[in-house]
Chains A and B, each alone.
Chain A
Amino acid sequence: MSPSNPVAALYAQHRSWLVNWLRQSTGCSQQAADFAQDTFLRILLSEQKRPVAADLKEPRSFLLTIARRVMIDSFRRQSVERAYLEALAEQPERYELSPEERWVLLQTLEALDRMLGGLGARAKAAFLLSQLQGLSYPQIATELGVSVSSVTKYIARATEHCLLFALEHQA
């Protein structure tokens, strides 16, 4: 990395400050170091698409914004991973997944969970029952105790929500 690289400059000037801030929020210096590393990695990657690091007015608040996202994503990943392990334990079938497949599956589950985040409980349930359990609308209606036309509305709403989410959050 050349010294003129703006991310390198950011790293040199603010890394220890960021690690300190993260240590205070997480209470763990190992985790703080990891989060800081991930923060710079993420900036490095996004610079390739859209460079912003060169002309930051407030580099520290920029760093904090990215670091918060890194933390949130990490919490989310942990809860997805926990739910995954629980589900696997309860599951009668066995899945032979390679580490790579497992990683990709967790990434996808995380993305799906995030996408479904803003939906109401019933719309979310209807969507999952239809898309992942393969139930028909009448079956979903029975399951949720609502009419078939309500199920149709839930599915339309959930699908629209997911389409908008996917478009706005695409890489």
Chain B
Amino acid sequence: MTSPRERQVLREAAQWFARLGANPDSADVQAQWLAWHQADPSHQWAWERLDLLHAQMDGVPRPLAYRVLDKLARQTPALPRRTLLKGLLLGAGLGAAGWQGYRRSPTWLADLHTATGERREETLADGSRLLLDTASAVDLAFDASTRLLILRAGAIQLTTASDPRPLIVRSAQGDLRALGTRFSVRQEQGSTRLSVFQHAVAVSPVHATGPQRIVEAGQGLTFDDRSSSPVESLAVDADSWTRGRLQVDGWRLDRLLAELQRYRSGYLGCADDIGGLRVSGSYPLDDIDMALGVIARALPIRVERYTRYWTRLVAAR
């Protein structure tokens, strides 16, 4: 059964969908939608449900499907439809038949994107390699003078190819200019996280005054639209996600779960009294349930699951 909370977020998703449809060219509406989408995991869950719905329609020959459904809509309902149908429908399930539709989102209009839990590598027109992390979206705007990648959501790692044109990654907070390099960028709420693995990257927050900040290999920083944090040394395995694992050392449990949450739909969290437990280890990002199993064996906790979309860790008793 759907909970009131699920109903509420599905309604919101439907309203956003209609609003985006009514304003197909409005960057403002898209930005507002993005803020909504990123504000809560339940929003992302609802939007995925919407993707599934569309994926189902993407496979059908549309003009034909339209005629059939329009005809059925015009028919006077036959007796059994009215009298017997209510409440007796067996869930044959939508999409069970496996139409192979393409996914439209997470960020709707993005050129490249991944679903929650998916990671994908793409080779760009200039030969640069782009790895998209879970639930990520990127628009490409390459022209004669610039190679511009617009990070709409999530995280990417870029290994740049040599090309006379500068390569710039634009996040909501500013521009990152690659200086021949491998680096990753992650869009977070209100900030952008940069990690540089080879060579260097120049950082320019949108409203920053003063010179660009150069971040060298083995360093990282976080910036908002005005200023950046001091440069820090990267942990040894800061790029472990690119190999499908999350390597952590002495992290708080709640931080680890927040990170794993990015790779799967629905709620994943823990009781307050265990959030501060410290964990170290390497966890598979392609199998979050296995990761939780590993955590549960290492700590005095157990995993509570109510549905596929609601998982919580609590103290073992």
Q: Do A and B bind each other?
A: yes
- The chain A residues found within 8 Å of chain B, CB to CB, are 42, 65-66, 68-69, 71-73, 75-76, 79-80, 83-84, 86-88, 90-91, 93, 95, 104-105, 107-117, 121, 124-125, 128, 130-134, 136-137, 148-149, 151-153, 155-157, 159-160, 162-171
Encoded as 1 (CB less than 8 Å from any A CB) or 0, chain B from 3 to 17 comes to 000110011011101
Size bin of chain B's contact surface: 35 or more
Q: Is the CB of B17 within 8 A of A95?
A: no
* Complex Cα spacing A90 to B70, Å: 13
CA distance A170 to B53 in the complex (A): 11
Chain A min CB distance to B74 (Å): 9
The answer to whether A156 touches B68 (Cβ under 8 A) is: no
Q: What residues of A have a CB within 8 angstroms of the CB of B21 in the complex?
A: 130, 137, 152, 155
User: From residue A65, how far is it (CB to closest CB) to chain B in Å?
Assistant: 7
| B98: A residues at CB distance < 8 A | 104
Give min CB distance, B46 to chain A, whole Å: 7
Given known pairs A111-B94, A115-B94, the reply for A156 and B15 (CB within 8 Å) is yes
Does B68 contact A87, Cβ atoms closer than 8 Å? yes
Is B81 a contact partner of A76 (Cβ separation < 8 A)?
A: yes
The interface stretch among B83-91, B129-137, B163-171, B264-272 is B83-91
With both beta carbons as reference points, the residue of chain B lying nearest to A155 in the complex is identified as B18
B243 at the interface (CB under 8 A from A): no
* Closest B residue to A121 using CB positions: B73
- Which B residues contact A (CB, under 8 angstroms)? 1-2, 6-7, 10-11, 13-15, 17-19, 21-22, 24, 46, 49-50, 52-54, 56-57, 59-73, 75, 78, 80-81, 84-85, 88-99
Q: Are A163 and B97 in contact (CB under 8 A)?
A: no
Report yes or no: A108 in contact with B56, Cβ–Cβ below 8 A: yes
CB-CB under 8 A from B13, the residues of chain A are 159, 163
- Are the C-beta atoms of A73 and B7 separated by less than 8 Å? no
CB contact between A112 and one of B1, B2, B57, B84 (< 8 Å): that residue: B57
Pair A83/B71 contact, Cβ less than 8 Å:
yes
Interface majority SS (helix, strand, loop, mixed), chain A: helix
Residue pairs across A and B with Cβ atoms less than 8 A apart, 8 shown, are: A114-B92, A128-B66, A128-B73, A130-B21, A131-B54, A155-B18, A163-B13, A163-B50
CB distance from A66 to the nearest CB of B (A): 8
Instruction: Tell whether, in the assembled complex, residue A163 and residue B10 are in contact, meaning their CB atoms are under 8 Å apart.
Output: yes
Give Cα A19 to B49, complex, Å: 40
| Shortest distance between the CB of A167 and any CB in chain B (Å) | 6
Task: Indicate if the CB atoms of B89 and A69 lie closer than 8 Å.
Answer: yes
- Complex CA–CA separation, A148 to B6 (angstroms): 28
Check if B63 sits within 8 Å of A93, measured CB to CB. Answer: yes
| CB of B56 to closest CB in A, whole Å | 7
Closest to A166 in B: B94
Contacts of B22 in A (CB 8 A): 137, 148-149, 151-152, 155
* Other-chain residue from A93, A116, A156 in contact with B14 (beta carbon distance below 8 A): A156
Contacts of B85 in A (CB 8 A): 72, 117
The one of B18, B72, B97 in contact with A108, judged by C-beta atoms closer than 8 angstroms, is: B97
CA distance A142 to B235 in the complex (A): 59
Partner of A132, one of B10, B19, B62: B62
Q: Which of B14, B69, B71, B91 contacts A163 (CB 8 A)?
A: B14
Q: Which residues of B contact A80 (CB under 8 A)?
A: 68, 72
* A148 proximity list for chain B (CB < 8 A): 22
Tell which of B52, B67, B78, B93 touches A169, judged by Cβ atoms closer than 8 Å. B93
Give the residues in chain A near B19, CB-CB below 8 Å. 152, 156
B93 lies within 8 A of A71 (CB) = no
Q: Which residues of A contact B1 (CB under 8 A)?
A: 168
Closest B residue by C-beta to A69: B90
